[in-house]
Amino acid sequence: MLRDDSLPAESPGGGARWLAQVAIFAGVIAALGLVPALQLPGMPVPITLQTLGVMLAGAILGARKGAASVLLFLALVAIGLPLLAGGRGGLGVFATPSVGFLIGWPIAALVIGWLTERRGAPYSIGWGVAFNLIGGIIVMYAFGLVGMMAVGGLTVGAAAVALLPFIPGDVIKAVLAALIAKPVHASYPGLLPQRSTLRGDASVEVS
Protein backbone atom coordinates (compact mmCIF):
# COMPACT_ATOMS: atom_id res chain seq x y z
CA MET A 1 0.00 0.00 0.00
CA LEU A 2 1.22 3.52 -0.74
CA ARG A 3 1.65 5.88 2.15
CA ASP A 4 2.93 9.37 2.73
CA ASP A 5 6.17 9.74 4.63
CA SER A 6 4.48 11.48 7.57
CA LEU A 7 4.66 9.87 10.99
CA PRO A 8 1.09 8.66 11.64
CA ALA A 9 0.09 7.60 8.15
CA GLU A 10 1.00 3.90 8.23
CA SER A 11 -2.19 2.67 9.87
CA PRO A 12 -4.18 3.27 13.06
CA GLY A 13 -1.25 1.71 14.95
CA GLY A 14 1.44 3.38 12.84
CA GLY A 15 2.30 6.07 15.36
CA ALA A 16 2.71 3.54 18.15
CA ARG A 17 4.87 1.37 15.89
CA TRP A 18 7.02 4.42 15.03
CA LEU A 19 7.55 5.19 18.71
CA ALA A 20 8.21 1.55 19.54
CA GLN A 21 10.96 1.33 16.91
CA VAL A 22 12.54 4.53 18.22
CA ALA A 23 12.42 3.19 21.80
CA ILE A 24 13.86 -0.19 20.77
CA PHE A 25 16.90 1.38 19.14
CA ALA A 26 17.43 3.74 22.06
CA GLY A 27 17.55 0.52 24.09
CA VAL A 28 20.04 -1.03 21.65
CA ILE A 29 22.39 1.94 22.09
CA ALA A 30 21.99 1.68 25.86
CA ALA A 31 22.66 -2.09 25.81
CA LEU A 32 25.88 -1.57 23.86
CA GLY A 33 26.99 0.70 26.70
CA LEU A 34 27.16 -2.36 28.95
CA VAL A 35 30.37 -3.28 27.14
CA PRO A 36 33.16 -1.53 29.09
CA ALA A 37 34.64 1.54 27.45
CA LEU A 38 38.30 1.49 26.44
CA GLN A 39 40.17 4.50 27.80
CA LEU A 40 43.57 4.72 26.15
CA PRO A 41 46.36 6.65 27.90
CA GLY A 42 46.32 10.29 26.91
CA MET A 43 42.96 9.94 25.16
CA PRO A 44 40.37 12.50 26.35
CA VAL A 45 37.47 10.45 24.95
CA PRO A 46 36.82 6.72 25.60
CA ILE A 47 36.28 4.20 22.81
CA THR A 48 32.87 2.53 23.12
CA LEU A 49 30.58 0.24 21.15
CA GLN A 50 27.69 2.68 21.32
CA THR A 51 28.62 4.28 18.02
CA LEU A 52 27.67 0.94 16.44
CA GLY A 53 24.17 1.49 17.79
CA VAL A 54 24.10 4.98 16.26
CA MET A 55 25.06 3.55 12.85
CA LEU A 56 22.45 0.80 13.18
CA ALA A 57 19.75 3.32 14.05
CA GLY A 58 20.36 5.29 10.87
CA ALA A 59 20.97 2.26 8.64
CA ILE A 60 17.84 0.41 9.76
CA LEU A 61 15.32 3.05 10.85
CA GLY A 62 16.19 5.79 8.39
CA ALA A 63 16.78 9.49 8.97
CA ARG A 64 13.95 10.66 11.23
CA LYS A 65 13.43 7.57 13.34
CA GLY A 66 17.17 6.92 13.57
CA ALA A 67 17.89 10.44 14.79
CA ALA A 68 14.88 10.33 17.12
CA SER A 69 16.11 7.12 18.75
CA VAL A 70 19.52 8.70 19.46
CA LEU A 71 17.89 11.87 20.80
CA LEU A 72 15.71 9.77 23.10
CA PHE A 73 18.80 7.97 24.38
CA LEU A 74 20.60 11.27 25.01
CA ALA A 75 17.54 12.67 26.79
CA LEU A 76 17.59 9.68 29.14
CA VAL A 77 21.30 10.25 29.75
CA ALA A 78 20.68 13.95 30.42
CA ILE A 79 18.10 13.23 33.13
CA GLY A 80 20.66 11.12 34.95
CA LEU A 81 20.29 7.53 33.77
CA PRO A 82 23.77 5.91 33.68
CA LEU A 83 23.42 4.64 30.10
CA LEU A 84 26.73 5.73 28.61
CA ALA A 85 29.57 3.21 28.64
CA GLY A 86 31.14 3.09 32.07
CA GLY A 87 27.85 3.92 33.79
CA ARG A 88 28.01 7.62 33.01
CA GLY A 89 24.96 9.83 32.93
CA GLY A 90 23.64 13.24 33.90
CA LEU A 91 24.15 16.70 32.46
CA GLY A 92 27.81 16.60 33.51
CA VAL A 93 28.71 14.32 30.60
CA PHE A 94 27.86 17.19 28.25
CA ALA A 95 30.65 19.24 29.80
CA THR A 96 33.36 16.67 29.01
CA PRO A 97 35.53 16.34 25.88
CA SER A 98 33.04 13.68 24.69
CA VAL A 99 30.33 16.30 24.19
CA GLY A 100 31.15 16.78 20.50
CA PHE A 101 30.59 13.10 19.82
CA LEU A 102 27.35 13.07 21.79
CA ILE A 103 26.02 16.05 19.84
CA GLY A 104 27.19 14.42 16.62
CA TRP A 105 25.46 11.09 17.28
CA PRO A 106 21.94 12.12 16.19
CA ILE A 107 23.37 14.05 13.23
CA ALA A 108 25.34 10.97 12.19
CA ALA A 109 22.23 8.78 12.41
CA LEU A 110 20.28 11.38 10.42
CA VAL A 111 22.90 11.49 7.65
CA ILE A 112 23.24 7.69 7.47
CA GLY A 113 19.47 7.30 7.40
CA TRP A 114 18.97 10.01 4.79
CA LEU A 115 21.59 8.51 2.46
CA THR A 116 20.16 5.01 2.99
CA GLU A 117 16.65 6.22 2.18
CA ARG A 118 17.85 8.04 -0.95
CA ARG A 119 19.48 4.83 -2.15
CA GLY A 120 16.26 2.94 -1.43
CA ALA A 121 15.47 -0.77 -1.45
CA PRO A 122 16.92 -3.31 -1.76
CA TYR A 123 19.54 -2.52 0.88
CA SER A 124 23.09 -2.74 -0.46
CA ILE A 125 25.91 -3.76 1.89
CA GLY A 126 28.48 -1.87 -0.18
CA TRP A 127 26.50 1.37 -0.21
CA GLY A 128 25.54 0.76 3.40
CA VAL A 129 29.18 0.61 4.49
CA ALA A 130 29.91 3.80 2.54
CA PHE A 131 26.98 5.62 4.16
CA ASN A 132 27.99 4.40 7.62
CA LEU A 133 31.52 5.68 7.03
CA ILE A 134 30.25 9.08 5.91
CA GLY A 135 27.93 9.52 8.88
CA GLY A 136 29.76 7.46 11.47
CA ILE A 137 33.25 8.78 10.80
CA ILE A 138 33.28 11.98 8.74
CA VAL A 139 30.23 13.62 10.35
CA MET A 140 30.76 12.24 13.85
CA TYR A 141 34.46 13.01 13.91
CA ALA A 142 33.85 16.59 12.78
CA PHE A 143 31.67 17.15 15.85
CA GLY A 144 34.04 15.16 18.05
CA LEU A 145 37.02 17.24 16.96
CA VAL A 146 35.24 20.50 17.79
CA GLY A 147 34.21 19.11 21.18
CA MET A 148 37.75 18.10 22.08
CA MET A 149 39.02 21.52 21.05
CA ALA A 150 36.31 23.45 22.89
CA VAL A 151 36.15 21.42 26.11
CA GLY A 152 39.40 19.48 26.11
CA GLY A 153 41.52 22.49 25.20
CA LEU A 154 43.26 20.65 22.35
CA THR A 155 44.61 22.28 19.21
CA VAL A 156 43.25 21.18 15.83
CA GLY A 157 46.30 19.02 15.23
CA ALA A 158 46.21 17.42 18.67
CA ALA A 159 42.49 16.72 18.38
CA ALA A 160 42.99 15.17 14.94
CA VAL A 161 45.76 12.93 16.27
CA ALA A 162 43.55 11.94 19.21
CA LEU A 163 40.91 10.74 16.74
CA LEU A 164 43.26 8.35 14.94
CA PRO A 165 42.86 5.41 17.38
CA PHE A 166 39.08 5.50 16.80
CA ILE A 167 39.30 4.92 13.05
CA PRO A 168 40.02 1.14 12.82
CA GLY A 169 37.27 0.25 15.26
CA ASP A 170 34.74 2.58 13.64
CA VAL A 171 35.50 1.15 10.19
CA ILE A 172 34.76 -2.31 11.60
CA LYS A 173 31.53 -0.98 13.15
CA ALA A 174 30.51 0.52 9.79
CA VAL A 175 30.91 -2.88 8.14
CA LEU A 176 29.11 -4.71 10.97
CA ALA A 177 26.22 -2.24 10.87
CA ALA A 178 25.75 -2.83 7.14
CA LEU A 179 25.98 -6.61 7.55
CA ILE A 180 23.33 -6.48 10.29
CA ALA A 181 21.09 -4.03 8.42
CA LYS A 182 20.98 -6.18 5.26
CA PRO A 183 18.99 -9.13 6.72
CA VAL A 184 16.80 -6.76 8.77
CA HIS A 185 15.75 -4.91 5.62
CA ALA A 186 15.25 -8.24 3.84
CA SER A 187 12.89 -9.33 6.62
CA TYR A 188 11.11 -5.96 6.88
CA PRO A 189 11.19 -4.48 3.36
CA GLY A 190 8.81 -1.65 4.27
CA LEU A 191 11.56 0.12 6.21
CA LEU A 192 13.03 1.56 3.01
CA PRO A 193 11.31 3.22 0.04
CA GLN A 194 11.55 1.40 -3.28
CA ARG A 195 13.98 2.99 -5.70
CA SER A 196 11.35 2.98 -8.46
CA THR A 197 9.11 5.04 -6.16
CA LEU A 198 11.93 7.46 -5.35
CA ARG A 199 12.42 8.15 -9.05
CA GLY A 200 8.78 9.16 -9.29
CA ASP A 201 7.71 10.97 -6.10
CA ALA A 202 10.20 11.19 -3.24
CA SER A 203 7.41 11.98 -0.76
CA VAL A 204 5.71 8.61 -1.22
CA GLU A 205 7.05 5.23 -0.20
CA VAL A 206 5.85 1.68 -0.49
CA SER A 207 5.04 -0.33 2.60
CA–CA dist 154, 148 (Å, integer): 6
- Which CATH number does the domain housing residue 35 bear? 1.10.1760.20
pLDDT at 47 over 60: yes
Query: pLDDT digits over 62-94, tens only?
Result: 999 999 999 999 999 999 999 999 899 999 999
CA–CA dist 62, 50 (Å, integer): 18
Q: How many CB atoms lie within 10 A of CB 127?
A: 15
The total domain count for the chain is 1
Instruction: Give yes or no for a contact between 105 and 140, defined as CB atoms under 8 angstroms apart.
Output: yes
Say if pTM beats, i.e. exceeds, 0.75: yes
Omega before 165 within 30 of 0, i.e. cis: no
48 phi-psi bin (left φ>0, alpha ψ -120 to 50, beta other): beta
- 203 within a domain of the structure (yes/no): no
What pLDDT sits at residue 201?
47
Domain containing residue 167: 10-195
Instruction: Give yes or no for a contact between 28 and 57, defined as CB atoms under 8 angstroms apart.
Output: yes
